[in-house]
């Protein structure tokens, strides 16, 4: 025996195994040995392209039996005998195909990313917790579990997710768990509530600019800010057809008597800011045309929600059937129900309301303990919630958040409020106190007519949505739905005094007074994140509205007749730049061609002959958009810089509308940093000269075509960390203010067109695939169909069609 050699080599073996069994740092976060092992590691996630999805499964939680038929796109058609089994199977399938995404998104909602990503996510987690995301989810959960029927549905869904999680061996874990070296956590009803709060944050949290306005207010007056960020643009085409009368408001909020001094003049200096804000283009299109305008005389409904494009996609397509009815559409992994879709009688879709439902209140604490604050002339105790943030590879971070009558104190001395001692900013947000928003979808999935639809949507409180509706009986409707505070003029524009109740919201706008329209004479309705009503609506309803897309949709729908489903698909993919239609004449007429550089002159001639369509190959669109951006900077940047921080520039349509009325734009055109007086002609010409310099470089690199310039990409949820899992360089045109709203990696996350004739004709597509597994052929198989503007025919399968050639695999669920 050679003891030394033995000990030495054994130690070397153990050391090597040890090193290969743990993460090697940020670049290689996976234990390499396990990851490479063909029997346990990533190879196990490389799906056999010929493999099927047939299975016979047995779960004691089921009440009866259920069958799932997968079609050639891996869309499951679920047939269950009762609701609970239906949602059990939906939970199981969501988990089977999208577990990592559900797990990650709800952990992110709760402020637990540091557990996976380490110390770099602590600020994100603190912000989520200080916004009260979990607090909000707990409040919703309370209502969700109070009603026995709702409780049964959510519990069945949760049981389905967990049934899948428990069936997993380590070698079966989704790929991302193997890369990041962690394991999935059990699902709970709270996590479903958290997912819906994540949607609320995405859609109803970035719709206010209160902190930015408060800072701007140090430099600008309220009327100036209202001019720069107007609420009712001239080009507005609202949801409610202009001319429709509004009911007398049931509630008239009253401005506190001292508002002029205590609110409009003495806005406290604010240094706080939200770091992880949702994309301001999280918007959508939906519209519906009545039978009077269609070739088939059946109504047609269209919807395309614009969200961050990701792999796996936010949506998962499904058919959910019981003997009581069939529903088909886009589901949200992490939640039961179909969110956007159709059933045997109706179709519905959603766009974001963009309404401001979040305000801030200045809180004065008694001392740095932050457990009492001045309210109604006395020190009121603040509840404190201690947040423990676990950090991968580090010590747990504790954060104490004070809760006031308004809501959690999001910013204080310990978090991004560097100016004030013993003060804080409490956030009040409708999402903190909602009931069972999901109930709306449970009911919509089963709705048979307009009354059922109106009954269903009333449960939806946050995020405010525009629910578009059509029925086989020919009714079309569009309601803006949500719980919206009734505000006095300019209430909540800035941080409000938080020392008493007078500045609190005085009530909600009654649900029946929400802007809506039913069967209009013109035969069509649409929403595209624009303001829902014109100035005749009797409430002050601030929001982050987007105007141009609605104007473009109206332009087309007004003139179209004998409409077919194919026409509506074409419209969803339309590239007309309505903003440029109004702006180009101004740009061209204010260019002093004698002062253009030779390079700029070339682009000037080129853009002059542009057809105003932002197609993927368009160079005119690239010139226009960069010129416009450059002009916006020339006009606004000098004034906005006075605020001393980065602030979002006024919208393009604001500049356009201002310039149409006044070529000096009330003095903003002049550069205040120079002694001379700049004219619009000087600014427009200078903007093109600057743009030309940049564009010359772009053109040399061969990236002048719009799609190449934008570089459209769909990234994996973990973005740069998993860049090879992205789908890049897509040949798609469009922009945020164009109907086909594709930006760099943001845009139509699901396109659906439903013609409600007999039989129903439905089409849909989303940029992804049904499987979340990057090792599956169904991971990104639909992206090119989506990019080229094509659709799949959506198949509402009949139970008797089991033998249909489209059925590829079958999964049986028994007790």
From 23, 33, 249, 757, residue interacting with other proteins (rule: CB under 8 A): 33
Binding mask 160-189 toward other proteins (x if CB under 8 A, else -) reads ----------x----x---x----------
First-last CA distance in the chain: 60
- The per-type count for the chain, helices as H runs and strands as E runs, is 23, 29
- Pick the piece of the chain touching other proteins (CB under 8 A) from 4-12, 117-125, 488-496, 510-518: 4-12
Four-residue CA torsion sign, 448, 454, 459, 462: positive
Vertex 174: Cα angle to 170 and 176 (nearest 5): 110
Is 238 within 8 Å of 533 (Cβ atoms)? yes
From the list 43-51, 355-363, 390-398, 588-596, the region that binds other proteins by CB under 8 A is: 43-51
The DSSP annotation for 563-624 comes to B-HHHHHHHHT--B-HHHHHHHHHHHHT--GGGS-HHHHHHHHHHHT--SB--TT-SHHHHH
Residue whose CB is less far from other proteins, 101 or 466? 101
- Contact positions with other proteins (CB under 8 A) in 290-319: none
Cβ contacts of 606 within 8 Å, gap of 6 or more:
619, 620, 623
Q: Kindly give, in sequence order, each residue whose CB lies less than 8 Å from that of residue 720, ignoring residues fewer than 6 positions away.
A: none
Minimum CB–partner distance for residue 23 and other proteins (Å) = 14
The residue length of the chain stands at 815
Burial (CB < 10 A; 0-12, 13-18, 19+), residue 168, is: middle
- Asked whether the bond before 674 is cis by omega within 30 degrees of 0, the reply is no
Q: DSSP label at 733?
A: -
Nearer to other proteins, 20 or 664 (CB): 20
Q: Which is nearer to other proteins, 571 or 718 (CB)?
A: 718
- Going by C-alpha positions, the residue among 179, 132, 187 that lies closest to residue 158 is 187
Q: Rounded distance, CA 520 to CA 477, Å?
A: 8
Cβ closest to other proteins, residue 21 vs residue 218: 21
How many Å apart are CA 800 and CA 737, to the nearest integer? 45
Q: What is the largest CA-CA distance in the chain?
A: 100
Of 304, 787, 782, the closest CA to residue 571 belongs to: 304
* H or E element that contains 191: helix 189-204
Q: With respect to other proteins, which residue has the nearer C-beta, 587 or 717?
A: 717
Q: What gap in Å lies between CA 231 and CA 531, rounded to an integer?
A: 8
Options 26-34, 258-266, 562-570, 707-715: segment touching other proteins (CB under 8 A): 26-34
246/498 Cα distance (integer angstroms):
33
Nearer to other proteins, 179 or 583 (CB): 179
Distance CA 465, CA 440 (A): 12
Among 22, 23, 40, 364, binds other proteins (CB under 8 A): 40
Q: How far is the CB of 726 from other proteins (least distance, A)?
A: 10
Q: How far is the CB of 724 from other proteins (least distance, A)?
A: 4
Out of 775, 785, 807, 810, the residue judged to bind other proteins by CB under 8 A: 775
Please, what is the minimum distance in Å from the beta carbon of residue 775 to other proteins? 3
Q: Are 270 and 214 in contact (CB under 8 A)?
A: yes
Which positions from 48 through 87 interact with other proteins, judged by CB under 8 A? Answer: 48-51
The contact pattern for other proteins, residues 6-25, with x = CB under 8 A and - = no contact, is x--xx-xx--xx--xx----
Site stretch for other proteins (CB under 8 A), options 321-329, 420-428, 561-569, 716-724: 716-724
Of 484, 725, 750, 786, the one binding other proteins (CB under 8 A) is 725
Which of positions 575-604 make contact with other proteins (CB under 8 A)?
A: none
Report, in Å, the least distance between residue 173 CB and other proteins: 13
Tokens of 746: 């943001």
Q: Using the minimum distance from each CB to other proteins, give the nearer residue, 45 or 683.
A: 45
Q: Choose the stretch contacting other proteins; rule: CB under 8 A; options: 231-239, 363-371, 701-709, 720-728.
A: 720-728
Using CB under 8 A as the binding rule, the residues of this chain from 647 to 666 that contact other proteins are none
396 forms part of the interface with other proteins (CB under 8 A): no
> Among the candidate windows 5-13, 499-507, 669-677, 744-752, which touches other proteins by CB under 8 A?
5-13
Neighbours of 637 (CB within 10 A): 12
Non-local CB neighbours of 804 within 8 Å, separated by 6+ positions? 797
**Which range touches other proteins (CB under 8 A), out of 39-47, 301-309, 590-598, 735-743?**
39-47
Instruction: Say if residue 449 is exposed, middle or buried (CB neighbours under 10 Å; 0-12, 13-18, 19+).
Output: middle
Considering the complex, what minimum distance in angstroms separates the CB of residue 182 from other proteins? 16
Candidates 24, 36, 566, 666: give the one binding other proteins (CB under 8 A): 36
Least distance to other proteins, CB of residue 18, Å: 9
Tokens of 79: 């047939």
Q: Which of the ranges 44-52, 96-104, 269-277, 337-345 carries the binding residues for other proteins, by CB under 8 A?
A: 44-52
Q: Which stretch binds other proteins (CB under 8 A): 41-49, 578-586, 597-605, 610-618?
A: 41-49
Q: How many residues belong to the site for other proteins (CB under 8 A)?
A: 45
For tokens 């090792």, name the residue: 775
Among 55, 512, 566, 723, interactor with other proteins by CB under 8 A: 723
CB of 769 to other proteins, least distance (A): 11
Report the nearest approach of other proteins to the CB of residue 189 (Å): 34
Please, what is the minimum distance in Å from the beta carbon of residue 312 to other proteins? Answer: 14
Structure token digits, residue 789:
């503007």
**Cα 762 to the center of its chain, rounded Å:** 24
Q: How far is the CB of 39 from other proteins (least distance, A)?
A: 3
E strand residue ranges, 323-396:
325-331, 340-343, 346-352, 358-364, 372-375, 378-381, 383-389
Choose the stretch contacting other proteins; rule: CB under 8 A; options: 47-55, 316-324, 353-361, 728-736: 47-55
The smaller minimum CB distance to other proteins, of residues 666 and 723, is found at: 723
Q: Candidates 453-461, 636-644, 696-704, 769-777 — which segment interacts with other proteins by CB under 8 A?
A: 769-777
383 close to 402: Cβ distance less than 8 angstroms: yes
List 405, 518, 555, 722, residue binding other proteins (CB under 8 A): 722
Mapped onto helix, strand or coil, the DSSP state of residue 42 is helix
Q: Is 297 helix (H, G, I), strand (E, B) or coil?
A: coil
* Contacts with 725 (C-beta within 8 Å, 6 or more apart), sequence order: 311, 715, 716, 718, 774
Among 24, 26, 34, 518, binds other proteins (CB under 8 A): 34
User: Given candidates 47, 67, 81, 801, which one binds other proteins under the rule CB under 8 A?
Assistant: 47
Locus of tokens 């909540």: 492
Residue from 24, 26, 43, 58 binding other proteins (CB under 8 A): 43
C-beta of 116: minimal distance to other proteins in Å?
Answer: 17
CB closer to other proteins out of 49 and 800: 49
> ∠ at Cα 104 (198, 463), nearest 5°?
10
Nearest-CA neighbor of 228 among 647, 679, 697? 647
- Using CB under 8 A as the binding rule, the residues of this chain from 694 to 713 that contact other proteins are none
SS3 58: strand
Whether the ω angle into residue 312 lies within 30 degrees of 0, i.e. cis, is yes
Q: Which of 656, 737, 776, 797 binds other proteins (CB under 8 A)?
A: 776
List interacting residues with other proteins (CB under 8 A): 1-3, 5-6, 9-10, 12-13, 16-17, 20-21, 28, 32-34, 36-51, 170, 175, 179, 722-725, 774-777, 779
């Amino acid at each position: 025996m050679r003891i030394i050699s033995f000990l030495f080599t054994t130690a070397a073996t153990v050391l090597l195994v040890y090193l290969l069994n743990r993460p090697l740092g940020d670049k290689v976060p996976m234990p390499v040995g396990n990851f490479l092992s063909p029997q346990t590691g990533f190879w196990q996630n490389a799906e056999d392209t010929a493999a099927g999805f047939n299975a016979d499964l047995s779960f004691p939680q089921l009440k009866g039996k259920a069958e799932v038929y997968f079609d050639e796109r891996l869309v499951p058609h679920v047939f269950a005998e009762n609701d609970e089994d239906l949602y059990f199977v939906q939970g199981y399938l969501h988990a089977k195909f999208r577990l990592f995404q559900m797990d990650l998104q709800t952990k992110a909602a709760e402020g637990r990313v540091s557990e996976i990503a380490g110390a770099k996510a602590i600020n994100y987690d603190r912000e989520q917790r200080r916004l009260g995301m979990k607090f909000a989810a707990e409040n919703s959960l309370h209502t969700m579990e109070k009603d026995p029927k709702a409780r049964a549905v959510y519990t069945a869904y949760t049981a389905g997710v967990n049934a899948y999680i428990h069936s997993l061996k380590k070698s079966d874990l989704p790929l991302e768990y193997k890369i990041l070296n962690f394991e999935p956590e059990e699902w709970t009803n709270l996590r479903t509530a958290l997912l819906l709060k994540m949607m609320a944050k995405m859609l109803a949290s970035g719709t206010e600019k209160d902190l930015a306005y408060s800072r701007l207010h140090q430099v600008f007056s309220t009327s100036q800010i209202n001019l720069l960020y107007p609420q009712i643009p001239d080009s507005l085409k609202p949801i409610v057809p202009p001319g429709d009368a509004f009911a007398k408001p049931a509630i008239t909020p009253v401005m506190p008597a001292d508002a002029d001094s205590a609110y409009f003049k003495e806005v406290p200096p604010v240094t706080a800011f939200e770091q992880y804000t949702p994309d301001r283009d999280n918007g959508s299109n939906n519209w519906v045309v009545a039978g009077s305008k269609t070739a088939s005389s059946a109504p047609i409904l269209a919807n395309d929600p614009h969200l961050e494009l990701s792999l796996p996609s936010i949506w998962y397509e499904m058919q959910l059937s019981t003997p009581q009815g069939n529903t088909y559409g886009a589901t949200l992994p992490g939640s039961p129900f179909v969110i956007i879709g159709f059933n045997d009688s109706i179709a519905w879709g959603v766009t974001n309301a963009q309404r401001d439902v979040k305000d801030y209140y200045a809180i004065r604490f008694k001392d740095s303990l932050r457990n009492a604050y001045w309210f109604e002339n006395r020190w009121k105790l603040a509840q404190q919630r201690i947040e423990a943030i676990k950090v991968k590879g580090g010590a747990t971070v504790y954060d104490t958040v004070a809760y006031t009558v308004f809501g959690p104190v999001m910013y204080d001395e310990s978090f991004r409020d560097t100016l004030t001692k013993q003060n804080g900013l409490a956030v009040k947000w409708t999402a903190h106190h909602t009931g069972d928003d999901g109930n709306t979808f449970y009911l919509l999935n089963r709705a048979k007519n307009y009354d059922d639809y109106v009954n269903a949507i009333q449960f939806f409180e946050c995020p405010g949505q525009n629910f578009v509706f059509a029925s086989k009986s020919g009714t079309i409707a569009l309601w803006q739905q949500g719980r919206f505070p009734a505000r006095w003029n300019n209430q909540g524009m800035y941080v409000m005094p938080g020392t008493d109740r007078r500045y609190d919201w005085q009530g909600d706008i009654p649900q029946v007074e929400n802007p809506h329209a039913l069967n209009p004479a013109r035969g069509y309705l649409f929403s595209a994140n624009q303001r829902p009503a014109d100035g005749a609506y009797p409430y002050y309803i601030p929001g982050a509205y987007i105007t141009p897309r609605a104007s473009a949709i109206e332009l087309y729908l007004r003139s179209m007749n004998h409409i077919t489903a194919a026409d509506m698909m074409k419209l969803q993919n339309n590239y007309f730049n309505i903003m440029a239609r109004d702006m180009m004449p101004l740009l061209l007429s204010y260019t002093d061609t004698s002062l253009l550089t030779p390079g700029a002159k070339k682009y000037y001639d080129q853009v002059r002959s542009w057809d105003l369509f932002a197609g993927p190959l368009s160079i005119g669109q690239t010139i226009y958009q960069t010129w416009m951006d450059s002009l916006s900077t020339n006009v606004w940047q000098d004034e906005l810089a006075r605020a001393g921080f980065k602030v979002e520039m006024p919208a393009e349509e604001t500049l356009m509308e201002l310039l149409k009325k006044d070529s000096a734009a009330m003095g903003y055109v002049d550069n205040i940093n120079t002694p001379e007086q700049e004219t619009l002609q000087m600014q427009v010409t200078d903007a093109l000269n600057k743009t030309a310099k940049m564009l010359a470089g772009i053109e040399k690199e061969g990236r002048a075509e719009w799609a190449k310039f934008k570089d459209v990409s769909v990234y994996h949820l973990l973005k740069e960390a998993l860049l090879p899992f992205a789908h890049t360089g897509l040949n798609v045109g469009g922009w945020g203010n164009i109907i086909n709203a594709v930006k760099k990696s943001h845009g139509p996350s699901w396109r659906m067109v439903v013609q409600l004739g007999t039989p129903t004709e439905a089409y849909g597509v989303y940029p992804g695939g049904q499987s979340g597994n990057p090792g599956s052929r169904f991971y990104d198989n639909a992206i090119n169909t989506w990019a080229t503007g094509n659709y799949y025919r959506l198949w509402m399968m009949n139970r008797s069609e089991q033998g249909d050639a489209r059925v590829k695999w079958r999964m049986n669920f028994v007790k």
